[in-house]
Amino acid sequence: MGDIKSKENSGKTGIGNLDNPHMPYDYSKREYGTVPLDTKRAPFQWLSEVAYKNVHRIVARGYDTTEMVEQGLGLLDILFVDYQSRIPLMEEEQMLNYIMIMALEDGLSMPAAMSRMVAQSKTYLTQACGAAILAFGHAFGAYSAFGNRLENYLKKVEEEGVSLADAAEQLVKETINVEPESLGVSNLMLKDPAAKRMLARAEKLGVAGKNIEFLRKIVQAAQKQSKTPVDVDMLGATGACMMDLGFTPEATWAILAATRAFAAGAHYIEEIEREVEAHGYTQMGQALTPQEDYDGPPDRPVPPPDNRDKIAQSAQCQTMEQWKKLQQERKKIYGGGYRIVEEIEDPSKKTGIKSVGKKLH
């Protein structure tokens, strides 16, 4: 950029390097405040085909929401309007109602537990429900991963002429040992008939389509390839049913996570009314963790500064053998992350997951 103290720049009192003669423009002459709109550049604005509102009405996909309610349409109808821009068939509405009721409450599961823990910190109900929704990751509620995988393999069926059975065999082979939690088939519901009942309900209502058909082929393929008994689980049944209703994997994830938030709110309220009322909020430093629940190194004295050189250990290795040995020793330490293996291939290419995940040894 040159020397700002050069003769060319003498006499100027600019800030830092802004008055340097080698700058491509004269910064001191740039305008402040409002300047005429540059019509050659698009102005910043939000554009949406989902909805708009003014002081008189809220309109979603062209439908006045007040008129929808007055006509007898309900919450489930506007979900179809918002995500698919259409009024659903009565059978589709009944199926979505079935799915959302099944998804709303799951007892003292992870989302409910998270809501209750946040409640103990004397915070807002909405924050507790938000924490509960965050439990819908790629292991607990992998609707996005499951659904995108189904779409990818169904595309092979259409474009490559692969049979549903062959596509299912390939899907299971490539998934069962890599991301089994998002397969939609597991040992979680061998005795619980809820998932099978959901599929039966969709077929009875006449809304079962290609996704449910493909899921059944996946179940058959998984049962052949698995060394232990497996069957369709709630992730698979719910995901396939939602997609046959026309919802994308991402829309499914959003709708069902928000549905679970209703139950999380009830758990938050109960935690306040029962536990907090009886025992009070959990304050910082109040919860104690006894030594009996600790299995790390035994108590040891903190070394004085002048003895540091005698016990300090370097993380540097001089040979590959030293590095390999140190890595094995580090894997014995829980909480350091050395037991976690980063996946080399980005799973989003196969499942729609937007970031590289991790797997445990």
Say if residue 9 is exposed, middle or buried (CB neighbours under 10 Å; 0-12, 13-18, 19+).
middle
Closest CA to 146 of 253, 261, 257: 253
Q: Where does the pLDDT of residue 345 fall: very low under 50, low under 70, confident under 90, or very high at 90 and above?
A: low
Say if residue 258 is exposed, middle or buried (CB neighbours under 10 Å; 0-12, 13-18, 19+).
middle
- Specify the pLDDT at position 182: 86
Q: Where does the pLDDT of residue 346 fall: very low under 50, low under 70, confident under 90, or very high at 90 and above?
A: low
Distance CA 162, CA 159 (A): 8
Lowest mean pLDDT, pick from 132-136, 317-321, 354-358: 354-358
User: How far is C-alpha 41 from the geometric centre of its chain's CA atoms?
Assistant: 35
pLDDT, average across residues 45-53: 90
Contacts of 243 (CB under 8 A, 6+ apart): 147, 150, 151, 211, 249, 252
- Specify the pLDDT at position 343: 58
Average pLDDT, the chain: 86
- Specify the pLDDT at position 12: 53
- Specify the pLDDT at position 82: 96
Q: Where does the pLDDT of residue 20 fall: very low under 50, low under 70, confident under 90, or very high at 90 and above?
A: confident
Say yes or no to pLDDT of 7 above 60: no
SS3 content of the chain, % helix, strand, coil (to 5): 50, 5, 45
Contacts of 52 (CB under 8 A, 6+ apart): 58, 59
Please report, rounded to a whole number, the percentage of residues in the chain having pLDDT higher than 90. 47
- Specify the pLDDT at position 4: 42
User: How far is C-alpha 295 from the geometric centre of its chain's CA atoms?
Assistant: 33
User: Tens digit of pLDDT for each residue in 223-256?
Assistant: 999 999 999 999 999 999 999 999 999 999 999 9
Is the distance from CB of 245 to CB of 91 less than 8 angstroms?
A: no
Highest mean pLDDT among 115-124, 156-165, 174-183, 301-310: 156-165
